[in-house]
């Protein structure tokens, strides 16, 4: 594939590039093709794409990866490493979200929610004046692109419930009515989500995230040792969840009960994301904590839906 390269001086250069895509077969076939080209003196491309080579130094590189947190490193490494992972995850899911690829919208929203939890959990390590606007924009993104996902989940659950009922108990074309009603809502929500991904507000958010990582607004406390500081912040989230659970009223269901259940779910989610951020430091201990928090969130979500 011949292609021109336009440098800053508008000098034209030409290179030849082979691009191989695996349509059928296994990775072994792809490796064999790689060896065949290497034997003919072809070498792997130095840049990630043809666009990167064409633009040369003007290619917009993202922020450098954050260092993996270590026991001797600062606490800031834990939050920046986790945040960088989620920014990259969001960008990776963007194309699939636009093309309605399976689970892409859900994963995009999860990445946005994880990033939004960072200032909440690690607020003492960050300048809140800079982090707060990011939380607002991430909430907007997660809420807008996630509406279609919520509708799809509701439609699936209702369909499963109807399928489990004896036909004699179903009055009229219930499944069809659900499909028509929620199908229309899904299509509208899907269109709104796609519009959000084309909105300048979304691209400004991506720029803000890159700027945040390039020059993180850290406080002096962020320089403290990672294990002790991060451990305390995760413990604080764990206490928050326990407090939310103990605040639940076992009496009759009221509006206050629903609000309390929402607080439990929110606290469990925050603990899960905080524990995930701590995994490079605490390993399996943090992984188990994150998994437990996720299960609590799922259980209380089911209970809240049933009530």
pLDDT attached to residue 54: 62
Distance between CA 136 and CA 104 in Å, rounded? 22
pLDDT band at 125 (very low <50, low <70, confident <90, very high): very high
Encoded tokens for 18:
């082979």
In this structure, the number of other CB atoms found within 10 A of the CB of residue 122 comes to 26
Residue predicted with more confidence, 210 or 23: 210
Average pLDDT over the chain reads 85
In sequence order, the 6+-apart residues with CB closer than 8 A to the CB of 216 are: 76, 80, 126
pLDDT band at 273 (very low <50, low <70, confident <90, very high): very high
The answer to whether residues 77 and 65 touch, using CB atoms and an 8 Å cutoff, is no
Helix (H, G, I), strand (E, B) or coil at 305: helix
φ and ψ at residue 125, rounded to 5 degrees: -100, -5
- The DSSP line for 169-205 is G--SSHHHHHHHHHHHHHHHHHHHHHHHHHSHHHHHH
Ranking 112-121, 183-192, 226-235, 298-307 by mean pLDDT, the lowest is 298-307
Determine what percent of the chain is predicted with pLDDT higher than 90: 52
Burial 263-282 (b: 16+ CB within 10 A, else e): bbbbbbbbbbbbbbbbbbbb
Does residue 2 carry a pLDDT above 80? no
Residue 237, classified by CB atoms within 10 Å of its CB into exposed (0-12), middle (13-18) or buried (19+), is buried
* 12, 77, 244 from 224: Cα distances, Å: 51, 10, 29
Q: What is the mean pLDDT of residues 199-218?
A: 95
pLDDT attached to residue 60: 57
pLDDT band at 22 (very low <50, low <70, confident <90, very high): low
73-222 sits in which CATH class? mainly alpha
Closest listed residue to residue 293, CA positions, set 244, 259, 250: 244
pTM greater than the 0.85 cutoff:
no
Residue predicted with more confidence, 37 or 77: 77
What residues does CATH 1.20.120 cover in the chain? 73-222
pLDDT tens column, 93-104: 999 989 888 888
Does residue 88 carry a pLDDT above 70? yes
Q: What is the mean pLDDT of residues 50-74?
A: 72
pLDDT attached to residue 55: 59
pLDDT attached to residue 80: 96
Residue predicted with more confidence, 30 or 182: 182
Does residue 81 carry a pLDDT above 80? yes
pLDDT attached to residue 215: 93
Q: What is the mean pLDDT of residues 222-249?
A: 94
In sequence order, the 6+-apart residues with CB closer than 8 A to the CB of 213 are: 63, 66, 80, 83, 84, 87
């Amino acid at each position: 594939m011949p292609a021109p390269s336009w440098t800053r001086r508008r000098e034209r250069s030409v290179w030849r590039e082979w691009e191989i895509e695996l349509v059928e077969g296994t990775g072994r076939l792809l490796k064999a093709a790689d060896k065949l080209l290497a034997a003919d003196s072809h070498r792997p491309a130095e840049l990630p794409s043809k666009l990167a080579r064409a633009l040369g130094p003007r290619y917009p590189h993202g922020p450098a990866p954050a260092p993996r947190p270590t026991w001797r490193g600062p606490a800031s490494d834990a939050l920046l490493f986790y945040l960088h992972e989620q920014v990259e995850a969001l960008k990776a899911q963007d194309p699939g979200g636009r093309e309605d690829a399976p689970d892409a919208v859900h994963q995009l929203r999860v990445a946005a929610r994880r990033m939004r939890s960072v200032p909440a959990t690690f607020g003492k390590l960050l300048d809140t004046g800079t982090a707060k606007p990011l939380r607002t924009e991430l909430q907007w993104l997660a809420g807008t692109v996630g509406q279609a996902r919520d509708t799809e989940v509701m439609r699936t659950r209702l369909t499963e419930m109807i399928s489990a009922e004896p036909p004699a108990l179903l009055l009229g074309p219930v499944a069809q009515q659900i499909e028509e009603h929620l199908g229309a809502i899904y299509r509208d929500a899907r269109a709104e989500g796609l519009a959000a991904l084309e909105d300048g507000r979304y691209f400004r958010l991506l720029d803000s995230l890159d700027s945040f990582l390039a020059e993180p607004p850290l406080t002096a406390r962020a320089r403290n040792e990672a294990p002790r500081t991060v451990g305390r912040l995760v413990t604080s989230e764990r206490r928050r969840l326990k407090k939310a659970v103990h605040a639940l009223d076992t009496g009759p269901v009221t509006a206050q009960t629903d609000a309390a259940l929402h607080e439990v779910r929110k606290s469990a989610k925050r603990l899960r994301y905080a524990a995930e951020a701590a995994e490079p430091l605490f390993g399996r201990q943090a992984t188990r904590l994150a998994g437990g928090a996720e299960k609590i969130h799922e259980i209380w979500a089911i209970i809240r839906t049933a009530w």
